[in-house]
Amino acid sequence: MLLLFAPSRCILGQNLVVNGSMTSIKGADVVAPGWVKSYIDPRNTPDINDTAGPLLSTPGLNWSNGHPVESPDGGTWQNTFTGEGVMQTIDGITPGVVYYFRYYYTSQGITQFDQGSGTPNIAIHGATGYINPDYGGPLFQWNTYCGALTADSTSIVIIASGPLDAYMAYDGFYLSTAPLSSNPVTQQPADTSVCNGSAASFDVQYPGSTGFFWEVNSGSGWTYLKDTGYYSGSYSANLRIDKTDTGMNSYQYRCYIKDATCPLYSDPATLTVWPLPDPVLFANVSPAEICGGNTLTIRTDKSYKSYLWSDNSNGSSLTVNQPGAYWMEVTDANGCSGKDSITVSPCAQIFIPDAFTPNNDGRNDIFKPVITGSVVQYNFSIYNQWGQLVFQTADTTKGWHGYANGRLQQNGVFVWVCSIQFSGEPLQNKKGTVILLR
């Protein structure tokens, strides 16, 4: 019984090509209702048959090597011969939707021509994924062929034609939005959410599978995956993505599953890739500097679900009384983590002693300013009582050992002059005296 399309509407799980009323005309070539000739020699018109008796053929030709058997649908089937073909257009199709097909076929033999078996010659337009079977099977034995299509048009056109010098009988063209396989998918891939840079996986389980083929839809249609880049397990029940990135957000994944009967697709699953939080630390004073025994407070630019500071505290802010580097790791509502750090500097200060003792006892042997803060410009000079320069440096780490021209100077009072500029502050000029004690 050949199945024809009912154009009213497509209902999930129902066959979209439904039973039609056929009346064959014995002794004449007739195209089944719902089908039209697709092309070819006007002298040859495809035949229909409604019994298990001899198939209709061009008058004068006889079947050989067997007799037709009843079709799997128990009645009428469509025959095509060399140069013959029938075509059916199925409207109401939704682009991007997976449709499952199935049909029956058997090759025939006639005395004047090739008596070997033939393979079907089906063309399907408006959808991708169809490949003709590569095995014809014995004469007069019905075979089942099925698979899955992805529609790329609002209509699907089926064209069935005959092989070279042999009749091919077709029956039962089913098209459905529900899988035609014998077993259900026992575990569908689940939607997955991960943080940027994390691994992800999709799993499917199907009893009796003979092959798994994963596909991805990045927004431009479905394409098969290969074990390259971050992907592995593309041909197994478990697809793995070693490292995700936000560019993969909203990608969809599904598995094309083969088994001993009809293949089917798993449900699509969506990958969500959350961006990592990007916290920014700042102090309640600017610049972030501490002077003496003062304190300052560090906090983030926004609120998060949880916090972890470098001292293992968990508050939303941290109060410190010492210069140094401090870090904080946050976790947001999606469970993703981000980190930032801040350096608290000592405040900009300069202290210059009023005496020193360069006697090599390891204590107070060098005269130099004690400086805290970031210095961008510096010059320090020392003069004796006659106004002669005895020491000068632009290096904040260097000081005067009490020598001039290779000789240790006598006890006395010396004059120092300091020019210093801290980061973000104006230039300062300072002057004072220091006593050298031997």
Q: Where would I find the beta strands (DSSP E) of 59-203?
A: 77-80, 85-90, 98-107, 121-125, 127-128, 143-151, 156-161, 168-176, 192-195, 200-203
Pair 134, 182: CB distance under 8 Å: no
In terms of average pLDDT, the best of 236-240, 265-269, 288-292, 360-364 is 236-240
**CA dist., res. 231 & res. 225, Å (int):** 8
Strand partners, 300: 281
Task: Show the tokens assigned to 257.
Answer: 């599953």
Please say if the pLDDT value at position 14 is more than 60. Answer: no
Task: Show the tokens assigned to 130.
Answer: 């169809």
Tell me the mean pLDDT in the region 228-238. 95
Please say if the pLDDT value at position 411 is more than 90. Answer: yes
Report pLDDT digits (tens) over 328-382.
Answer: 999 999 999 999 999 998 888 899 999 999 998 989 999 999 988 789 999 999 9
Report pLDDT digits (tens) over 277-291.
Answer: 999 999 998 888 888
Task: Identify the pLDDT of residue 221.
Answer: 82
pLDDT band at 31 (very low <50, low <70, confident <90, very high): low
Please say if the pLDDT value at position 2 is more than 60. Answer: no
Write down the mean pLDDT value for the chain: 83
- Residue labelled with tokens 């083969």: 258
- Residue labelled with tokens 């500029």: 421
Report pLDDT digits (tens) over 160-175.
Answer: 887 766 778 888 788 8
Task: Identify the pLDDT of residue 339.
Answer: 96
CA-closest candidate to residue 221, choices 150, 148, 125: 150
Task: Identify the pLDDT of residue 424.
Answer: 77
The string over 404-433, giving b where at least 16 C-beta atoms fall within 10 Å of a residue's C-beta and e elsewhere, is beeeebeeeebebebebbbeeeeeeeeeee
Strand bridging mode 324-331 / 296-300: unpaired
Report pLDDT digits (tens) over 99-134.
Answer: 888 888 888 776 666 555 678 889 999 999 888 887
Length of the chain: 438
